[in-house]
Structure formats: structure tokens, C-alpha cells
Structure 1
């Protein structure tokens, strides 16, 4: 059972790739493909998009930050079904760039999956789950400003993706690691971006 869960990340990439078609794809199509109850999958997908070469799409970091913020708020409130405003769901992304990003992510995702397992599951219950969720919510507020610092938005998105991967595969150790990194990202970005 645990082994099946460790393949969940690749399954999400497969679902996203299956949703792409010629031209461009709407955010709403991604949501429908992954499911309206798949908070972790949606958080993983959009944060990975912002981590991959697809992040070259202008404004993608800001869009991803807005999506993740809204998802986190709904998770904290205990909603069962994902809701996003129309101005986000109607946004379109280049299918070619998205597919390129998915292809780029395959290797690192396969590598990470080798180390995932179901453990420390108490971290997925309240109030423990609120700690990383609040940290992510705070981080997304700074992500639009990170677009002016090269790669910083991608680093922040990668940490969010790590949390989503832990949530999706029920790996509490990964969630703990993501929490530590979430607290370190703003400090690192400030130091290397403005002091370095």
C-alpha cells in the first residue's frame, strides 16, 4: 500500500500531461483533470510548474502564489471541494511549455519517489497540519516580489512542492523537512538577493 502511494507524484504528472492539448490549456481544465477534492495534487502541480522551465511564462510565479494561497486558506477552513475565482480558472498556459516542464520534472520526481514512505501520519491532523499551512500562506504573500530576484520564486515553489508531495504520499518526515525549509526560504532569499 505504501509503495503505491510513493508513485502518486508520477501519477499526478501523468494526469497533468493527459490534460494538455495543442495550443494552450486553462487552469480550470487542470482542476477538472485532477479533481475538485485534490488539494494536495493541485498544490503539487502548480508549485512544480513554477519550479520547472515553465516558470519562464511571465507572471507564473504570481499566479501560482495566488492559487496556492487560496488552496491553503480552504484547507485551513476544512473545505472539501476546491474553489478558485474565475479570473484564475480562465487563465491559459502554453501546452508546449507545460509539457516541456513536465518532461523536465520526470527525473527529479522519480528520484524523490524512491525515498518516500507512509510515516509520522499524526502530522496530517490538526493542529499539527496548520503549522506548515500557515508558513506556506505567509510565503505566498512574498512570492510575487520574488519575481525580481532570479530563481527565488522557483526555490519557494520547490519547497511548497515538497510539502505537497509529503501530504499526497502521507510522508510526515517530508512535511517536517518542508516546514524547516519554509521558515528558511525568506531569510535565504533576503540574504542572497539583497545582501549578496
Structure 2
């Protein structure tokens, strides 16, 4: 399962927050984001997950709960590279550790491309083999369009094994509504299938 997951946090702007130059400046403010998700798999028990992020210029910090596996928590540090005006590009390599039911070192990438009202977001991370389980690549992507500034709709895909079952790649759709610094959204993966998953999200920036 992904953020996520993280796509909701970045949906409130044309791309993830990034610094203008390398290095840290204590005069620059921190930017924070928090998102909660209610996951409702048709073939399993509903559960909550969450993501918290902090950005200071190019430095990116992130913590996740119930993301790589149930009853697991992860923490990351990353560095954001971005540029462009008409076409905005951003990439944040991240490294971290996950503890709990899934555990071990982990590495990933968060990236986005924005062109006018159209944007694409990709999040991926690789968890090495542990406790007899093979290594696994988690992924979440969104391709979305804003007919007006406060509505974002499009298609999404996630690759995860948190739900169990035969499918580990789930396509679907998304709809998000933004009011000031708050974004509410709904995702519907595998529509109409026995393995469908509906996800409700609520994200804030402050």
C-alpha cells in the first residue's frame, strides 16, 4: 500500500516542496505535511495508515505507519532535486529503515512531473529480503488533471502485498478536493472485482 499514499501530500501543489539551493538555512521555514488513510479492502479487514513529512529547503524527512506491512513503521531521510517552470520536475531519493512485522533497511524514490493542469507522481521503495521473505518493490503512481484548481481527478496504480491475495498490482481511479491547506480524497482500486480496495484520505499542509 502506498501513500502514500504520498501522492495526496503532493497533490496540494504542482509538485513536492523543494529548496532552491543546496545546503540548509536556519532562516528558512520548515514545511510540514500529515495524511491519514482509511483502507477498506473488500476481502480483508479495514485499517488506518498514515504519513508525516517535513521539508527544509532540499532536506526531506518522512515517517510512515502501516505502509510496508501491517504493524510496521518506517522512517526516511532524503534530498530533493527540482527545476523547471513550464515543465516542473522533482525527484527525491530516500533511504531509511522499517521496523515491526516488516523490518530492515529500505531505499526509494519520490518523483513528480507537472505541466499546466496535468501532473504525474511516482513513489517507489525496495525492501530487501528478510525473515524468509523475498525482497519486494512497492510502488504507487498517479496521473491526474485539474479541471479547476480545487479538483484533481485521474488514474492511480499501486503495487503492494499488504492486502494479500493473488493481485499485487492494482489499478484504479482517484478524486481529490482541496480547500486551502486541506485535501480530501477517495481512491478505488480494482473497481468491481472481488479484490477491490476503497481508500479514503485526508491530508494537511502547515
Bin of the TM-score, shorter chain as denominator length: under 0.3
More strand as a share of residues? 2
Name the structure, 1 or 2, with higher relative contact order (CA <8 Å, separation 6+): 1
TM-score by length of 1: 0.27
